[in-house]
């Protein structure tokens, strides 16, 4: 998203024109930004055999999945429905990692039938898996390294009280299960959380994984999850992916030499690949003044973008209809019957009713977390690909709210 001749645009496509053509609210994604992030990640880890497994929970649109596949990405899924979505997008089962949490064993059995790589994070499920499959199906084990990392506790998954992963302190129990059922463990996995800034966090977790890996002789890969932080505002501190790549690659190569053979390094980026590619366009319905606050109320709410309410996430907001106007302070809110505040006390170019406001960093965990709360319709999605706008999801209609309801004759 860049400002040219007082107009915000993506690849030369003016955002106001997109709002006029497709209506609002509207999600817009920049394919070129996704490609540049994908290339940057590959470049940072060029000295190791690295695979990118896109965390598709962040953005599951089929066209986005196909786009990433065309760039060389593979897929990380957390539900059997995401696995099916990946297959629909053209990924082979061998390209898909399935990391369930608290699902039924029947779902895991279905994933085995499909042929994807299974990543288990519960000793009970590991025992059920061993009893069913023994060494006939390769498996990955997700470990909890007990490292508190991430910008918000709700996105920190490697701490001691997390529901994710098997505690590293339960390694003796893990090895007993592996031995008892003759499990074929081919991978180890960890994910400490999101918005990690410091390369040292990855290195500390890596040392824990390397030490654990000494207990397994048939490993093919070690999966370091993700958690790279992107910029949310001007001057924001971000993960130095080049530094992480240099330091972690060196440590990984040293480990592989000691292990006796080269392994693959896997990552599961979601936000890093697609967050900055996304812009969410809304129309200002009302400008409301109270004794203390001026509200800009838009035609969307927590039903379309819940991250600010759920994670206290920051999304920079700009008035694309008035790029050079006098700056005034507004609190930007939604139209849902809840306190759905997108941005508190933001300096925006003067906002008038009908103006289009754009929320940056709306590519990850935005549309994918949308709902029909208040019986509102989910928005359309557009991908800017090679300088042209492509509709990749139609806006819902009222009939979509009714199609699965069974109406009683009362």
Percent with pLDDT over 90 in the chain: 85
Binding residues for substrate: 307, 311, 338, 365
What pLDDT score does 154 carry? 42
**Spatial separation of the C-alpha atoms in residues 180 and 157, rounded to whole Å:** 29
Residues 251 and 288 in one domain: no
Residues 298 and 246 in one domain: no
pLDDT digits (tens, 9 = 90+) for 319-353: 999 999 999 999 999 999 999 999 999 999 999 99
Q: Give me the long-range contacts of 14-23 (CB less than 8 A, separation at least 24).
A: 15/279, 15/281, 15/320, 15/356, 15/358, 16/320, 16/321, 16/356, 18/281, 18/382, 18/389, 19/281, 19/283, 19/320, 19/356, 21/389, 22/380, 22/382, 22/389, 22/391, 22/395, 23/380, 23/395
Beta strands in 219-298 (DSSP E): 221-223, 264-267, 278-289, 294-298
SS3 17: helix
**Spatial separation of the C-alpha atoms in residues 107 and 113, rounded to whole Å:** 10
Binding residues: 227, 307, 311, 338, 365
Residue 337 is among the residues annotated as catalytic for this protein: yes
| Residue 232 confidence (pLDDT) above 90 | no
pLDDT digits (tens, 9 = 90+) for 244-257: 999 999 999 999 99
What pLDDT score does 194 carry? 57
Residue 36 lies in a domain: no
SS3 323: coil
- Omega of the bond leading into 246 within 30 degrees of 0 (cis): no
Contact 355, 15 (CB under 8 A): no
Catalytic residue among 77, 140, 256, 337: 337
What pLDDT score does 235 carry? 76
Domain that holds residue 20: 2-28+275-395
Residues 315 and 263 in one domain: no
| Residue 141 confidence (pLDDT) above 80 | yes
Length of the chain: 410
Residues 134 and 239 in one domain: yes
What pLDDT score does 146 carry? 83
Beta strands in 211-250 (DSSP E): 221-223
What pLDDT score does 152 carry? 41
Range scoring the smallest mean pLDDT among 33-47, 112-126, 194-208: 194-208
Res. 231 pLDDT band, cuts 50 70 90: confident
What pLDDT score does 347 carry? 97
Domain final residue, candidates 206, 239, 269: 269
Residues 244 and 282 in one domain: no
Considering only CA atoms, give the Rg of the chain. Answer: 23
Domain final residue, candidates 269, 288, 321: 269
How many domains, in total, are found in the chain? 2
Res. 197 pLDDT band, cuts 50 70 90: low
pLDDT digits (tens, 9 = 90+) for 155-167: 444 445 668 889 9
pLDDT digits (tens, 9 = 90+) for 60-117: 999 999 999 999 999 999 999 999 999 999 999 999 999 999 899 999 999 999 999 9
Average pLDDT of the chain is: 93
SS (H, E, C) 55-73: EHHHCCCHHHHHHHHHHCC
- The encoded tokens of residue 278 equal 């996304």
- The encoded tokens of residue 64 equal 């986005």
**CATH code (residue 352):** 2.40.37.10
Residue 105 lies in a domain: yes
| Residue 356 confidence (pLDDT) above 60 | yes
Domain final residue, candidates 230, 251, 269: 269
What pLDDT score does 184 carry? 97
Residues 331 and 365 in one domain: yes
Mean pLDDT of the region 262-290: 97
Handedness of CA 133, 134, 136, 138 (dihedral sign): positive
Binding residues for pyridoxal 5'-phosphate: 227, 365
**Spatial separation of the C-alpha atoms in residues 40 and 33, rounded to whole Å:** 10
**Spatial separation of the C-alpha atoms in residues 64 and 47, rounded to whole Å:** 28
Residue 7 lies in a domain: yes
| Residue 228 confidence (pLDDT) above 90 | no
Q: Apex CA 320: angle with CA 317 and CA 321, to 5°?
A: 130
What pLDDT score does 160 carry? 54
Residues 279 and 363 in one domain: yes
- The encoded tokens of residue 23 equal 């209506």
What pLDDT score does 151 carry? 47
Helix axes 123-133, 171-181, angle to 10 degrees: 10
Residues 258 and 178 in one domain: yes
């Amino acid at each position: 998203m860049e400002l040219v001749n007082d107009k915000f645009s993506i690849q030369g496509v003016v955002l106001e024109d997109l709002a006029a053509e497709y209506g609002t609210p509207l999600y817009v994604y920049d394919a070129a930004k996704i490609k540049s992030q994908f290339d940057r990640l590959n470049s940072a880890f060029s000295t190791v055999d690295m695979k990118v497994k896109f965390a598709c929970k962040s953005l599951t649109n089929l066209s986005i999945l196909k786009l990433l596949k065309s760039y060389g990405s593979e897929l990380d899924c957390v539900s059997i429905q995401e696995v099916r979505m990946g297959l629909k997008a053209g990924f082979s089962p061998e390209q898909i990692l399935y990391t369930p949490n608290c699902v039924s064993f029947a779902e895991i059995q279905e994933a085995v039938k499909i042929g994807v790589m299974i990543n288990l994070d519960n000793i009970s499920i590991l025992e059920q898996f061993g009893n069913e499959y023994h060494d006939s199906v390769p498996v990955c084990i997700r470990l909890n390294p007990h490292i508190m990392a991430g910008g918000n506790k709700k996105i920190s998954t490697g701490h001691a009280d997390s529901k994710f992963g098997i505690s590293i302190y339960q390694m003796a129990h893990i090895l007993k299960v592996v031995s008892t059922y003759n499990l074929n463990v081919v991978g180890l996995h960890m994910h400490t959380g999101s918005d990690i800034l410091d390369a040292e966090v990855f290195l500390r977790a890596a040392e824990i994984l390397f030490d654990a890996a000494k207990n397994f002789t048939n490993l093919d890969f070690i999966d370091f999850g993700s958690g790279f932080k992107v910029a949310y505002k001007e001057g924001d501190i971000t993960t130095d992916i080049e530094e992480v790549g240099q330091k972690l690659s060196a440590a990984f190569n040293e480990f592989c030499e000691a292990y006796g053979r080269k392994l693959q390094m896997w990552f599961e980026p979601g936000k890093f690949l697609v967050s900055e590619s996304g812009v969410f366009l809304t129309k200002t319905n009302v400008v409301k003044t109270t004794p203390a606050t001026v509200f800009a109320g838009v035609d969307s709410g927590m039903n379309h973008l819940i991250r600010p309410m759920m994670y206290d996430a920051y999304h920079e907001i700009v008035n694309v209809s008035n790029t050079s106007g006098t700056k005034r302070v507004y609190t930007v809110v939604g139209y849902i019957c809840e306190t759905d505040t997108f941005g508190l006390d933001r300096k925006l170019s003067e906002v008038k009713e009908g103006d289009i406001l754009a929320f940056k960093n709306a590519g990850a965990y935005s549309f994918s977390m949308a709902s029909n709360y208040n019986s509102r319709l989910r928005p359309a999605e557009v991908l800017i690909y090679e300088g042209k706008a492509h509709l990749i999801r139609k806006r819902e209609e009222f009939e979509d709210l009714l199609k699965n309801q069974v109406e009683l004759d009362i």
